[in-house]
């Protein structure tokens, strides 16, 4: 019979999974860095609570799907080392889920940040052009 885990052990295993993803997956590091930068920028420009929640949800969705993609790819690789069309489909669909989450995050980011950043960009353009 399998030994039951404590709640603390479960958290340690979960943290281990996050750290594994960060250590081994280039795209996870890119997504994580982007999430940190977008979150910091949101705090800096003073997003309201709802805007900030939308940004957090969008960036979290990207990180979550990247981790699920990593887990699925690992399981597929564990099951077969040979080419199999179903393995390719499973990996491509999981990667597609990450792509959809990224596109969602880009749309959310555009809708939230553009209105706030556009006046700054116009002012920067005016200053640089000497008008």
Active site residues: 66
Q: Name the phi and psi angles at 25, rounded to 5.
A: -115, 110
Burial call 61-74: b when 16+ CB within 10 Å, e when fewer: bbbebbbebbebbe
The distance from CA 126 to its chain's CA centroid, rounded to whole angstroms, is: 35
The residue with tokens 């000497």 is: 130
Question: Nearest 5°: phi and psi at 130?
Answer: 80, 20
CA distances (Å), origin 8, targets 5, 16, 46, 71, 91: 8, 12, 36, 22, 32
């Amino acid at each position: 019979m399998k030994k039951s885990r404590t709640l603390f052990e479960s958290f340690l295993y979960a943290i281990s999974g996050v750290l594994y993803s960060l250590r081994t997956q280039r795209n996870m590091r890119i997504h994580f860095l982007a999430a940190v930068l977008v979150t910091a920028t949101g705090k800096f420009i003073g997003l309201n609570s709802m805007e900030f929640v939308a940004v957090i949800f969008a960036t979290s969705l990207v990180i979550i799907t990247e981790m699920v993609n990593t887990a699925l790819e690992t399981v597929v690789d564990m099951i077969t080392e040979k080419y199999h069309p179903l393995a390719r489909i499973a990996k491509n669909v999981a990667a597609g889920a990450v792509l959809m989450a990224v596109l969602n995050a880009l749309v959310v980011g555009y809708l939230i940040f553009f209105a706030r950043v556009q006046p700054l960009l116009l002012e920067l353009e005016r200053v640089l052009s000497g008008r």
